[in-house]
Amino acid sequence: MIKANHRIGWGLLAWMMMGVGIGASVVPNRQPTEKPPGYAGVPAIFYVRSYQLLEEGIMDTTRRQAIYSYIIANISTPQFEPIRYLPADDVKELRSMLPDLKLSKEVILEFVMSKMAENSKRQSSYTTMWKGKKDSLTRVVTLGK
């Protein structure tokens, strides 16, 4: 059970446990032609599937960064089990690399730190692509002005 002496606030923990966190998808799956909520009155020319995919990617990398930060901040807390908080695909990857080894906190910490660096690069590339798409759309709307 999570104790109040952990260094990350209860807001993050509640966010992680409400289904937005561990193993849950932040954005529900939609059909490629279906507009997401909030796009109902938007003409189709302004809605492109790539925006939705970038949004989902940014939200997923943000969620992962929060989980990795939470694990790193609380790894030294007694009776903290970091493996419980890792996303399912990360647990599977970690177990495939070290199937017979008992996973110590030090091993998990190294794994989490490497995944955090990898995730940070992915998040940066997603936000750069999002900015480029936004700038292109702005040029179209303003007729290049």
Give the predicted TM-score (pTM) of the model: 0.66
Report if residue 77 sits inside a domain: yes
Report if residue 68 sits inside a domain: yes
Report if residue 106 sits inside a domain: yes
The 3-state DSSP composition of the chain as helix, strand, coil percent (nearest 5) reads 60, 0, 40
Q: What is the pLDDT, as a whole number, of residue 136?
A: 83
Q: Which domain holds residue 94?
A: 10-132
Report if residue 140 sits inside a domain: no
Q: Where are the alpha helices (DSSP H) in 47-104?
A: 49-74, 88-97
Q: What is the pLDDT, as a whole number, of residue 139?
A: 86
Q: What is the pLDDT, as a whole number, of residue 117?
A: 95
* Contacts for 124 with CB less than 8 Å, ≥ 6 apart: none
Per-residue pLDDT of the chain (145 residues; tens, 9 = 90+): 344 444 444 444 444 433 433 334 444 455 555 656 666 666 665 567 778 888 899 999 999 999 999 999 999 999 999 999 999 999 999 989 887 777 888 999 999 999 999 999 999 999 999 898 888 888 888 887 7
Q: What is the pLDDT, as a whole number, of residue 14?
A: 40
Q: What is the DSSP letter of 8?
A: S
- The H or E element that residue 129 is part of is helix 105-141
| Total number of domains constituting the chain | 1
Report if residue 41 sits inside a domain: yes
